[in-house]
Amino acid sequence: MKKGTLFVVATPIGNLEDISKRAIDTLSAVYAIFAERPNWSKKLLNHLNIHKMVLQYSEATREKGAKRIIDLLSDGKDIALISDAGTPLISDPGASLVQTLRELNFNITAIPGPSALSTAVSVSGITAPFAFLGFLPRKKGEIMQIFKKMEECAFTAVFYESPKRITKTLNIIKDNFPDAKLHICKELTKINENHYQGSAEKVLSELVNPEKGEYTCIISIEKRKEDINFRELVLKLSDAGISRKDIAKCMKTIYGIRKKRIFEWIS
């Protein structure tokens, strides 16, 4: 018997008109649809006039859901996997399922479409490379570890945040990385879509009804420059026998200090 195919289908992140014709055709054709929250996903399916069996695949039902999917695929049934919104597996359950199905040689096909990650990046003005952090951990210490690694690497990063935690996360950034540059996207593709830019302090002062909506956040933390006594450094290099010309060349290249200033320090 021919095995069924798992279709990983992207659904709208807000505006229902963003769903593709291919996604609609796929959801209409499969035997069953697995969703993180079936009751939530049925709102979209009803809007599309798609009436299929909708079963749950979530972190809590991962093992049970995976077994059901494998059984159906083995019987030759085509299955669709969707998330609450956007492209599945970007920051929700399903990675282990796909890995298992790959090992068992099942067919897996992506039906691409909306993603909060790519949508936010496309309107922020940032360029690659950047890191994607998914949802941040809950503990402040773990959040700090992530941001400190970012500071060392000097990478821009994108992360998702819930309305319950956005104020707390912004305060962590404000208190520990006050110079960090932020672009906060709220309610992407929805009627109340908003964008906030600047420091965490500025964003906090401008954010309206932070406890409502979903957030995609872009953060850039530049490595802090250590305070250096350049005159003292130049004199030490001179005492070590390095010529004024070589010292001036190096200081200009590394720190942008003019040759005239170097010569003034070395009498």
pLDDT over 70 (residue 227): no
pLDDT reported for residue 225: 55
Sorted by where each begins, the domain ranges of the chain are: 5-114, 117-220, 230-265
| Mean pLDDT, rounded, for 170-192 | 94
Instruction: Give yes or no for residue 82 having a pLDDT over 80.
Output: yes
Quote the percentage of the chain above a pLDDT of 90.
Answer: 71
Q: pLDDT band for 226, please (50, 70, 90 cuts).
A: low
For the chain, the 3-state helix, strand and coil shares in percent, each to the nearest 5, are 45, 20, 35
Is residue 63's pLDDT more than 80? yes
Residue 228 has pLDDT above 70, yes or no: no
Q: What is the pTM of this model?
A: 0.79
- Residues shown for the chain: 267
Q: Does domain 5-114 have CATH number 3.40.190.80?
A: no
Residue 232: predicted pLDDT: 82
pLDDT the model gives residue 264:
81
Please give the structure tokens belonging to residue 259. Answer: 């040759």
Cα-based distances in Å from 165 to 59, 144, 169, 211: 21, 15, 6, 8
pLDDT at 93: 86
With b for 16 or more beta-carbon neighbours within 10 A and e for fewer, the 202-235 pattern comes to ebbeebeebeebbbbbbbbbeeeeeeeeeeeebe
pLDDT at 20: 96
Mind listing the pLDDT tens digit for each residue in 136-147? 999 999 999 999
Partner residues linked to 55 by β-bridges: 34
Residue 224 banded pLDDT, cuts 50, 70, 90? low
Q: Does domain 117-220 have CATH number 3.90.1170.20?
A: no
